[in-house]
Each structure stands twice: as structure tokens, then as C-alpha cells.
Amino acid sequence: MYRIIKKLLGNSASLIGLLLLLVFILIAIIAPYIAPPLFPDPYQIPRMSWDIEPQPPGFSITDDMRFIYESLGKPVTREQAIFGTAQGGYDIFYGLIWGTRTAFRVGIITVVFSMFIGIIVGSIAAYFGGWIDEVLMRLTDIFLSIPFLVAAMVLTTILGRGLDKVIIALVAFGWMGYARVIRGSILSTKEEAYVMAAKALGVKDFRIIAFHLLPNTIFPVLVQASMNIGSMVVTAAALSFLGVGAPLGYADWGQMVSFARNWIIGAPGKAGEYWYAVFFPGIFIILFVLSWNLVGDTLRDILDPRLRGEL
Amino acid sequence: MLSYIIRRLLILPLILFGVTFLIFALFSLLSPMERLATYINNPSVLKNPQAAQRLIEKYHLDDPFPAGYIYWVQSLMRLDFGWSPTANQPVWEAIKQRFPATMELVFYSIIPVILVGIWLGVISSVHHNDLLDQTIRVTAIIGWSLPTFIFGLLVLFIFYGILGWLPPGRLSTWAQYIVYTGDSFKHYTHFITIDALLNGRLDIFWDAIKHLIGPIITLSYISWAYLLRITRSSMLDTLRKDYIRTARAKGVEEKKVIHQHAQKNALIPVVTVAGMMIIQMLGGVVITETVFTYPGLGYWAASSAQQLDYGSVIGFALLFAFMMVIGNLVVDISYALIDPRVKLE
């Protein structure tokens, strides 16, 4: 463990990744201070104007908007949209800051739950073998037969908009990889002497799986899970981009990009006029995923015993 | 070998059963009324409770799950996938009409991926850990980290918004007029690029290519990055093998060692991954086509999903699942054919 941490810190790529992650964690923690919420639900992005088209960075809240907030008894806390506003007058800066929390929430919850399901399915299949293995693995194959994004899109379309629905869809079609990995490693460890000894002593099957096998086989799955957080966040953002993810006005990076979709080309003669509408959300998403990938890539190289001592 | 292929074919119906069952389970999350809406092209019927009830019974939408499944599969066999309000035509017709556009896009995306991805991967492994390798690797990680929809918007922004080179859509208006109206333009394959050449219309061919480049790059860059990584690690693995050392010790030229001895064996796992990549590309089609408003299956599915047109979304999922099952079968069998060492469980 110490060796891994040392290597992670020693490799420039993963060091950058870790630092970026730290920045994102910081942003998520201090979100209420840098972007104080106006509504009881902090994930609701405040609107700075009624304009349909995006407004440039530094745009000040319009007077009628201020009047509405004040008459609702909510003093306006921030005068300017420093990253500009998206389609519909939504404050891009606010959406991105609170979207960081959304990203961590979606990424971590999805990965934890799908890993949990995957571990249960995979370890049962590998430990008991025979027809149980056959049935569970064919079930895994079936879930793998629909392209991930398509499956998630279908399920969110049916369940309706909402972040919880997105998470359900991502978990429902995201557990198969973990099941396969854990099955593989349990298959190769279950014949070891200590497992045999536990069996001979009459330890119950589920106890053997939980306390003897899993502690020795779970590590590759954890690595895989950490690497998947980035891609889960991207898929959730993609669903929002397609218009089936987060509800309208919810602080979510994918939605911020989808707001930019209709404005990307700009007005005739003024190409790229609305660059900020896609630039800032894009940077947030890319850096977030990049940080996970940088860490994950190094982690995999470190753990791949064939390349040990090469980095 | 033959027995493996036969066994694999025998499993096929089972997997198809499982997939349709799964999709039907998703479909059943909807109420009978919502499911009825996917079958009729006149929504006003739904306002009349008696008529709606009669139709629900007619389509067996309120039957117990297994019976409902059987009736549903029967309707699929009759190619009755319901009605698509988004396309304003039956779902099956909508699929048939959009299928060639998507296939054209996927087809042109596959070739550069395989060539470029493998080539860069081999270079990267040969120059293991020096500057070139690090550059290629970091570029691949960055490419890997760029979500498709952002990358696509970027391509659109730069090459259409600023430079005006690569317009969205499938054809320009003037070309659409020639291709879709009148009889002068014959549709042989429904691939516009090929049809244009067969019709001797180089201007339309060029127009179609211009519209295709953006979507092709967007659809395939992730696969480049991925294939590069796989080729690299597979090559690194092979270059460590004893027979490579023997070849080098014998004094075989380094170029020959790499391209003949190592590459051939290293590419075996790459073949499987390449097959899987192509299948995975099907998923990317939805986003790519949406970004470029390319009138294929993915764009249609995404607009259907936004408008809660369940019938179209389900039909789309069925089609893609089916293509993926067949694709996996082909990959597995070709893998077994290429590599005789594969121990088939």
C-alpha cells in the first residue's frame, strides 16, 4: 500500500491527477461559500435574466430579475455571472460549482452500488460454480448485449427525468464488469489451501466468501471502480445532454453543455460568439474525467505485475 | 472448432430470448395506457376510456407478464414495432429509412480507427517510455477523457462555426433536392457516397464526404485512443517473450522482429478488442448524430427519448441489442478461428 502511494505521488501524470481531484473536492466542499444558494434546493440554478440567448461573462443580473428575487424575500447574493449565463439566463458559474457536487454524487453512488451488485453476482457465480455460474454469467451477457449508453437512455426515458433515475439506470447496466472481474479472481483463489482449510473446518459458504475470499480478491475491483467514476460521470452528463437526465435548471455539467448546444455555431458573421457557454462546462467535465483517468492509468500500470519496476 | 461454433450458435436463441425479455421488462415499467400510446397513431383515441380499454385488450397490454411477453414477441415477429410520433411513421419504417445513414457513418469510422489505432500503438510500444511514447500515451489519455458530446461540439465549433468547412446534417440543401426528389438519382446501396459515385455525381459525393468527416472523427476518436492502449500493452507483452529475444540474438533485423515476429502475435487480442470497439461505436452513434444533426438512427432515438416516444426508443434498443448480439457472435468465432491456442471453455 505504501509502495503504491509513493509511486502515485512520484509519477508526474498521476500527481497532476491527484492535485486536480483535490481541487474538485475542495470546490465541492466550499460550494455554499463561493456560490451561495438562493433557493431552498441549492441545486436549482438561479436565473440572471429572462433572455433565451446566452449572455457573456460579467453579465449583471437584470433589474426585473432582481425585483422578483427581492419580492420573494431573497436578497440577491451575487450581482454578476462571471462565466456568463447559459440559454435561459441560467448562471453558468453557479451551475458548475454546484455541479461538482452532483458529479461526485453521481460518480461515487453509481460506482459503489454497481460494484456491490457486481461483487455479489460474481462471487456467488465463481464460488458455487456449476449451473449457478452458468445462469449468472449468461445473465451478465444479456445485460451486456445492449450498448451501455443506449440501455441507460432507454431506462431513464421510461423512468422519467431526475438524478435518482439516472443513477438507477447507470447502476442497472453498470455492474457487469465488476461481476466478471471478481469472478475471475475468485475462480483462481478458491482452490487455495486456506480456503480448503476453512471449508474443512465447516465454515459457512457465505462466511468464506465474505471473510476469506473477498479480502484477497477485492483489490482489482476497487481499482476498476475508481477508474470508472470518471466515465460514469460522463455518461450521466451525456444523458443530460441528450435531454433525458437531470431536470431542467438542475446544477449538472451535462445540462450546462446541452444548454450550449443550440448556440455553438454563433450568429452569422459572429462565429463563436457564445464560446463561453460550452467552454467553461467543457473544461470542468474534461478536467474531472482526466484527473480520474490519470490516477487510474498509473494505478493500473503499478498493479500490473508484468510491468512492475518499469515506471 | 466446429463444435464450438455450433455450440455458440445454439446459445444464440437463448441470448436473444434473454435480451428481448429484458427489454420487455423495461417496457413493462410503463402503464398499459402509456404502452398503448406506442401502438396508435391517433392520440385522441386515448381520451375515450372505453375505446382505450378495448385497444388495451386487443394488444394484450394488461395481460400477466409471461403472456404479455409472448404477445409482444409475436407482434415483433410481424415487424409491428408500433408507431413513432417523432418520425410520424411506423417504427419499423423509421428504422428502415434511417439504417443506411447510420451504417454509412459507422462503416467509414471503422477503417481509420483500425489503421491509425494499431499503427500508433505499435510505434508507442517500440519506443517504450521515451518521449514519443509518452506523448502518444498522454494524447490518448486526454482523448479518452474528452466526452464525445464535448468533442463533437468542439469539432462543430471549429470546423463549421469558425472555418465553415464541415457543415452538420447529411447533405446540403441543393444536394438533398437532387438526391431525394425526381428519378434522376438512383439509389443502389443507400450509402450516399457510393450512390453518388455510381450516378457519376462527384459534386454530391464531395458534399456527402464533407458532411461525414466531422461525425466520423467524433465517433471514432475514443476508439483510436482505446485501440492504441490495447495494442501498446499487447506489444509490450509480446516483445518480452523468449522467442523475440531469440530472434534478436540470432541477429534478425529489428524492423523484422517488430513487424513480423512480434506484431503478428500481438495483434491477436487486438482483433477481439477491435471487434468490441466497433460494437461499442453503436452506442456512440446516438451522441454523435445528435451533435451533428445527422439524420440517422441515433438522432431519431435521441429526439424520441426527449419527446417520451417510448415505442421508438424501445424499437431502437431492440435493433441495437440485436446487432450487438450478432456482432459479438462474429467476434467470438473469428477470434477462435485466428488463434488456435484459445482454450474454449
What percent of chain B has a predicted confidence (pLDDT) above 70?
98
Instruction: Tell me the mean pLDDT in the region A85-92.
Output: 86
3-class secondary structure, A42 = coil
> What CA–CA distances, in Å, run from A309 to A301, A304, B128?
10, 10, 14
More confident residue, A201 or B264: A201
Residue B84 pairs in a beta bridge with: B89
DSSP state of A78: -
- 3-class DSSP state of A270: strand
Q: What is the pLDDT of residue A288?
A: 93
Chain-chain contact of A147 with B320 (C-beta, under 8 angstroms): yes
* Mean pLDDT for chain A overall: 86
pLDDT tens digits for range A42-57: 888 888 888 888 888 8
Residue contacts between A and B (CB atoms, under 8 Å): 148
CB proximity A270 to B under 8 Å: no
Per-residue confidence at A304, pLDDT binned at 50, 70, 90?
low
B129-133, B155-159, B194-198: the lowest-pLDDT one? B129-133
Minimal Cβ distance to A158: which of B15, B29, B129: B29
Q: Does residue A283 sit at the B interface (CB-CB below 8 Å)?
A: no
Q: Which three cell numbers stand for residue B87?
A: 418520425
Is residue B91 predicted with pLDDT exceeding 80?
yes
- With residue A265 as reference, give the H or E element that holds it: none
pLDDT of residue A75: 72
The pLDDT value recorded for residue A39 is 80
B190-219 tens-digit pLDDT:
888 888 888 888 888 899 899 999 999 999
pLDDT of the residue at B41: 77
Q: Do B238 and B265 form a contact (C-beta atoms < 8 A)? A: yes
pLDDT digits (tens, 9 = 90+) for A157-179: 999 888 999 999 999 999 999 99
The predicted structure's pLDDT at residue A309: 40
Average pLDDT (A4-18) is: 81
Distance (Å) from the C-alpha of residue B11 to the closest C-alpha of chain A?
10
B-proximal residues of A, 176-235, CB under 8 Å:
230, 234
Q: What is the pLDDT of residue A269?
A: 67
Angstroms from B151 CA to nearest CA on chain A: 9
Question: What letter would DSSP give residue B44?
Answer: G
Range from A90-94, A111-115, A303-307 carrying the lowest mean pLDDT: A303-307
Q: Taking 90 as the threshold, does the pLDDT of residue A71 lie above it?
A: no
Domains in chain A, CATH or no CATH each: 2-51+92-303 (1.10.3720.10)
- pLDDT for residue B172: 84
What are A18's three cell numbers?
A: 491527484
Residues in CB range of A293: below 8 A, 6 or more apart = A17, A227, A230, B141, B144, B145
Q: What is the percent of chain B with per-residue pLDDT over 90, rounded to a whole number?
A: 20
Region of A195 (left: φ > 0; alpha: ψ -120 to 50; beta: rest) is: alpha
Confidence category of residue A245, pLDDT binned at 50, 70, 90? confident
- A14 falls in which pLDDT band (50, 70, 90)? confident
CA distance A271 to chain B (A): 5
- Compare B18 and B338 and report the one with higher pLDDT: B18
Q: In chain A, positions 153-182, which contact chain B (CB-CB < 8 Å)? A: 153-159
pLDDT in tens, A107-154: 999 999 999 999 999 999 999 988 999 899 989 989 988 889 999 999
Subunit contact B15:A244, Cβ cutoff 8 A:
no
A248-261: burial string, b at 16+ Cβ within 10 Å, e else: ebbbbbbbbbbbbb
**Three cell numbers at A26?**
475542495
Sign of CA dihedral B263, B264, B266, B271: positive
Percent of chain A clearing pLDDT 70 (strictly above) = 95
Cα distances (angstroms) measured from residue B216 to each of A99, A121, A219, B93 = 30, 38, 38, 25
The C-alpha cell of A178 is what? 465488476
Max intra-chain CA distance, chain A = 80
Q: What is the mean pLDDT of residues B165-180?
A: 83
Which tops the pLDDT comparison, A36 or A171? A171
Of the candidates B145, B156, B305, which has its C-beta nearest A157's C-beta?
Answer: B305
Cα separation of B176 and B171, whole Å? Answer: 6
With cut-offs at 50, 70 and 90, classify the pLDDT of residue A311. very low
pLDDT exceeds cutoff 50 at A310: no
DSSP helix/strand/coil, B160 = helix
Residue B239: pLDDT over 70: yes
Q: What is the DSSP annotation of B206-222? A: HHHHHHHHHHHHHHHHH
Q: Smallest Cβ distance to B317: which of A146, A293, A294?
A: A146
Q: Which of A266, A293, A306 has its CB closest to that of B237?
A: A306
> Which of B157, B287, B301 lies nearest to residue A272, judging by beta carbons?
B157
Length of chain A: 311
pLDDT in tens, A213-236: 888 888 888 888 888 898 899 999
Three-state SS annotation for A2-38: HHHHHHHHHCHHHHHHHHHHHHHHHHHHCHHHHCCCC
Q: Which of B144, B157, B305 sits opposite A264 (nearest CB)?
A: B157
**Cβ contact B286–A242 (<8 Å):** yes
- Grade residue B259 by pLDDT with cuts at 50, 70 and 90: confident
Q: What is the mean pLDDT of residues A264-274?
A: 72
Name residue A59's beta-bridge partners: A81
CB of A129 within 8 Å of a chain B CB? The answer is: no
Interface contact B150-A147, CB threshold 8 A: no
What pTM did the predictor assign?
A: 0.87
Burial of A6 from C-beta contacts in 10 A (0-12 / 13-18 / 19+): exposed
pLDDT at B307 over 50: yes
Tell me whether residue A3 is exposed, middle or buried, using C-beta atoms within 10 angstroms of its C-beta: 0 to 12, 13 to 18, 19 or more: exposed
Q: Are A120 and A85 in contact (CB under 8 A)?
A: no
Q: Quick one: closest CA in B to A300, which residue?
A: B233
Q: Please give the pLDDT value at position A305.
A: 54
Burial string for A76-108 (b: 16+ CB within 10 Å, else e) reads eebeebebbbbbbbbbbbbbbbbbbbbbbbbbe
Contact yes or no for B148 and A157 at CB 8 A? no
What confidence category does residue B345 fall into, taking pLDDT thresholds of 50, 70 and 90?
very low
Nearest CA in chain B to A253: B150
For B188, phi and psi rounded to 5 degrees?
-90, -50
